[in-house]
Structure 1
Amino acid sequence: MADLREQRVCIKFCFKLGKTAAETHQMLKQAFGENRLGQTRTYNWYKGFKNGRTLTDDDDRSGRPSTGKTPENVAKVRDLILQDHRLTIQHVQHTLKLVNKEFYRDVLRRLREDMRRKHPEKWHTNDWVLHHDNARPHTAYIVQEFLATNKMAVVPHPPYSPDLAPCDFFLFPKMKIKLKGRRFDTVEEIQAETQTVLNTLTKKDFQDAFEKWQKCWDRCMRSQGDYFEGDGAE
């Protein structure tokens, strides 16, 4: 394939000229032929420049960056180790409740148990599906193995598609409204306020989120994989 960085420079150039993502992809097709970047990658780079990205070099690594390394967590880990130098990594992770592949696998175990107790009819017929995004703990091997072993059907999540993730379009915005502009001294305070938000959610809130989730997927399918923003596929 032709120099990828050269094509990314061309995408940035087209964006600055006011070309659309579709026009940019068509121009790459004319210039590079079969060696051009695919449509999805072209649109993703175009969106990056539109959102303020300036560099054309590829990222050092793919995937969502870890959010577990905060000053508060670093201090807690240091205190735990000073108290007991024999602590294992697993014990530290469990104590701090960091979201990693092991933690997420345990979340899925609890989810299956809740399904068994609260929806036995769906449990027996296995008539339910799981939808999560492509965060690294979700795609880890031990998580994928757990899903396969327990025959849990998973809805595939396209990359760079926060509009399809209920947490992104439903849950996180509600939390931001409650927490925006406030300062917290400890992680525990943040957890307590977050729990307060969760406790205010009603059955109708979740019904509305599910209906919006369905509309987002319908819009995605109507676009047939093409890139769009907002109501671009309406």
Structure 2
Amino acid sequence: MAELRKSITVQEQRAFLKICTLLNYSTGLSGNLLQKAVGKNALKKSAVINWMKSFKDGQILRMHPGRVDRDRLPDKKGRILRDDLCLVSKLGENVPHSSSPSQKEKRVNIAHMNLSWLSHRKDDLRRFICLDEIWVEFFTLLQRHQTRSWVGPGTSAEPIPRAELHERKVLPIVGMDVHGVAFWKTYEENITMTAERYKSFLEEYIPKWAIHRNIRAPVLLHDNARPHKAYVVQELIEDRSWIELPHPP
């Protein structure tokens, strides 16, 4: 019986708690039954309460056999990020994952407008230049699933480098057209993008690109970041007679 007790996984304990939730068992009774069956390897009282509450709230979490999915354990912080702020974890960052009805409607309208504009100018894709910038770290820390490895008897896993206390990162900005990467620029460390820097970047690279591609009226497509929508940038686009396609929210 001892070996059988040790073989019970966390996923099986979650499944047991789900059944207890369907039977309307209290968290105390469910925890006691789990403790009696599993012993010292049973889930803690706080985990039992959190899991049963999540099941009662209708959250059906996918359980992957063979690993403990601790990132999915329901907690107060996770509920606030997910339910109140409507955020979801992507590559270690909490980002918006849901749009309001007005934002969805605006996305559809902008998509229809851009498609309508292109339908009358099918040969104008060569005039498009897409612009974006993003922080790039000198060292990207591996995620948990990326650090797993098979280790033979008598051997140890390779050491994993630790992130620096103050991570070094740079800000590259890239312009892409139908041929691929058209131009790019990397700013020095700890330099953030401002409206003046973005304006200077456009003034330096867009005319050169237009001359190289033999384009008279470039069509710019960038997101709605503050430097992109600043007055000085919009004034430059209007003065140069460039075309700026609207970007959905």
**Scaled by the length of structure 1, what TM-score is found?**
0.32
For the pair shown, which has the larger CA radius of gyration, 1 or 2? Answer: 2
Structure (1/2) with the larger strand percentage = 2
Structure (1/2) with the larger helix percentage = 1
**Scaled by the length of structure 2, what TM-score is found?**
0.30
